[in-house]
Amino acid sequence: MWKHLITSLILIIAVFILSAIMLDRWISWKTAPYIFDDLRQLPEREVGMVLGTSKYYKAGAYNQYYFYRIQGAVNAYNSEKVKYLLLSGDNAQHSYNEPNTMRRDLIKAGIPASKIVMDFAGFRTLDSVVRTRKVFDTNDFTIITQRFHCERALFIAMHMGIEAQCYAVSSPKNMMTIRFREVFARLGAWADLYILKREPRFLGPLTPIPSQQIAPTGIEGYPAVSPEELQGMETRNRSK
């Protein structure tokens, strides 16, 4: 009996791993036509949406993924491939603010502040992609991130009927662990879209790009905005 149970368990695990690998390869194949490694071949778009990540690892080391995304955003703007940069990232804590960190570094690199828009509710890739369409009224835009992340972001966009392309920036040489985790991240994205039918945690009023960016008042530590504060802002806006 135990032998039969162990054999069944091994078979289930093997099927699960094989399915995850097949899904990973299918997503890469499906999104390949919309990913551009060469900036010269990248079609021009109004908005470039930069997917956020932390600038430093927990141990304090500089995050090369962050560096390449910022440099890619600068290159895309300076090459006139995009006119505005939408910075979408996690901002759930006052001490951690991906969009504002990116904004500071982009301004230091010479990008005009008037060409930068921040999305403080890009808690996940799904949130960032869908909010770009539903909140910032941008359906045909360029995603800026690494290729493996491009593929998952475009997979989400295509499922949601969003027309997007991706500029795949460079990746650090040693990314085996990240790539392994990506296989399961794609499995999670598939479950979010096809089983759980998830939507972004927050949407809010339509804010087309370009538009005047006004800092909200009465929030401690702005531009850090907690989910509760963001939800309160959106409730007040709807009641006006």
Cis bond leading into 223, ω under 30°?
yes
Decide: 55 and 19 in contact? Cβ < 8 Å.
Answer: no
Query: By C-alpha distance, which of 175, 170, 51, 178 is closest to 119?
Result: 51
Question: H/E element holding 168?
Answer: strand 164-169
DSSP assignments along 36-105, one per residue: ESSGGGPPPEEEEEEEP--SB-TTS-B-HHHHHHHHHHHHHHHTTSEEEEEEE----BTTB-HHHHHHHH
pTM: 0.83
DSSP-based three-state secondary structure for 167? strand
Q: CATH: 3.40.50.970, 3.40.50.620, 1.25.40.10, 3.90.1650.10. Which one for 34-207?
A: 3.40.50.620
pLDDT in tens, the chain (240 residues): 777 777 778 888 888 888 889 999 999 999 999 999 999 999 999 999 999 998 988 778 889 999 999 999 999 999 999 999 999 988 766 556 889 899 999 999 999 999 999 998 899 999 999 999 999 999 999 999 999 999 999 999 999 999 999 999 999 887 788 888 999 999 999 999 999 999 998 888 888 887 655 545 554 444 444 455 555 655 665 555
Which residues are bridge partners to 35 per DSSP?
166
Provide the 10 A C-beta neighbour count for residue 13: 10
Tokens 């006052």 -> residue: 94
Is 62 within 8 Å of 56 (Cβ atoms)?
Answer: yes
The torsion angle over the Cα atoms of residues 83, 89, 94 and 100, rounded to 10 degrees, is -20
Rounded distance, CA 173 to CA 202, Å? 35
Q: Which helix (H) or strand (E) holds 169?
A: strand 164-169
What distance in Å separates the CA atoms of residue 127 and residue 188, rounded to the nearest whole number? Answer: 14
Contact 152, 189 (CB under 8 A): yes
